[in-house]
Amino acid sequence: MLEAWKPFPPPSIIKRSYCRRLWVVQEFAVARKVEVACVTARISYQKLRNALDSIAHILYYLEDPSDTGKNDARVEIGYTIVKAYNSSFSSFIDSIITRPHRYQNSSLNENSLFHVLISSLVLESDYNHPECSDPRDRIFAVLGLADDAIVFDNFPDYRNSCEYVYTEAVKRLLNQGHIDIFSFFQFPRNLPMPTWVPDWRMMTFAPIAYDPWRDGFAFSASGNSHSHQKITSEDSESISLRGTVVDTIKESGSVWHPNWLGSLDPRASQKYLSEIRAFCAQSSRIDLEDEEMETSRIAIADWDRAGDLGVTANTLDSYRRLLTEFTASHAAQQQQSTYDNDTWYRRAMQLLRSSRPFISILLWLALRPPMLRSAM
């Protein structure tokens, strides 16, 4: 019964430094049987995974904008659970718990070092960064999970510097055709490495919208055709790739850098949305009556393909309600509300990676990483 329900205290075992170590990912994946112990408490792997699945279902229940008749008592309980567990059951913990299934059942492509690195090191919806006492272990600690480890025949070798390990890993990945690794280099950074090498010591963010290698990705300019990239290197600091110039950035807006774990800032949000709307007004590709709709889509990078038939109206309505709330005199108080039916749209804006809206010379609009420069 609801009256008898009491929230279980936040799991202290998940807060321990052991569960933030990158080596734990491999320990969970390759073990035949896993049981987690903390002082006198024990829990099986399956029960721990079931707990994570339950929390995911609660989040889905709370964020579903189509159900406006949710029971208030259940909503309150749901938020209590999420608040108690969300900071502990992070995306990294979820990666650990789900790794055995992926390791044992995934295809070769999904268990390549490229995908293992990204699924282990790239931040998803929080700022939990796996810990390593030696930064070279950000490569070496997950090598045992990669089906293509033989390609990296000189790893692990702790006689090599961190800079060498990171650079050599990228070269091997590029030779395999994984040019999407370029989606993960970020600035500023301190290691004296080539700009095309990700610094895995940093908190590394995923691309702004969809993973470019994701199966079933909706957009494909080349259809079913495939082209192999040709990569050459004249020295240790530079590489050369083939490419095509399709457009040039004309003007960019301010950096949108939301706090994933906080609340949307009304003033910053309004500025971000107004800049996108202004770019829409500049583009002859967008009709006047469509400017608001396009703004609502671009602002969340077509989250869950928001532009698909049957979803656009919902996106636009949520965008309008959010703007109304931000412009109301009591916006600050509304930010502290327990629940609202537009949580999904807020979350879509909130979980965007650092980016800038821009308009191109050919009058296309999109979001870009902050470090790219405009032509004008």
- Strand 35-38 relative to strand 41-44, pairing: antiparallel
Please say if the pLDDT value at position 327 is more than 60.
yes
Direct distance between the N- and C-terminal alpha carbons of the chain, in angstroms, rounded to an integer: 63
Provide mean pLDDT across the span 213-231.
64
- The string of pLDDT tens digits covering residues 56-77 is 666 666 655 445 455 566 666 6
| Residue 273 or 110, more confident | 273
Phi first, then psi, for residue 56 (nearest 5°) are -60, -40
Nearest to 34 by CA among 144, 10, 18, 43: 43
Q: Where are the domains of the chain?
A: 2-91, 107-214+228-240, 249-368
Condensed to tens digits (0 to 9), the pLDDT of residues 245-267 reads 889 999 999 999 988 877 888 88
Mean pLDDT of the chain: 76
- Counting beta carbons within 10 angstroms of the beta carbon of residue 147, is it exposed (0 to 12), middle (13 to 18) or buried (19 or more)? middle
Residue 43, Cα to own-chain centre: how many angstroms? 29
Residue 20 tokens, joined:
């933030």
Find how far residue 81's CA is from the centre of its chain: 23
| Residue 291 vs residues 280, 295, 296, 347, 355: alpha-carbon distances, Å | 6, 6, 9, 22, 20
348 or 216, higher pLDDT: 348
Entry pTM: 0.75
- Determine the Cα–Cα distance for residues 229 and 334; give it in Å rounded to an integer: 51
Q: Which CA distances in Å does 57 have to 53, 81, 85, 165, 344?
A: 6, 11, 13, 40, 14
Partnered with residue 36 across adjacent β-strands are 43
Angle value at C-alpha 70, between 69 and 72, nearest 5 degrees:
120
On the question of pLDDT at 332 being above 80, the answer is no
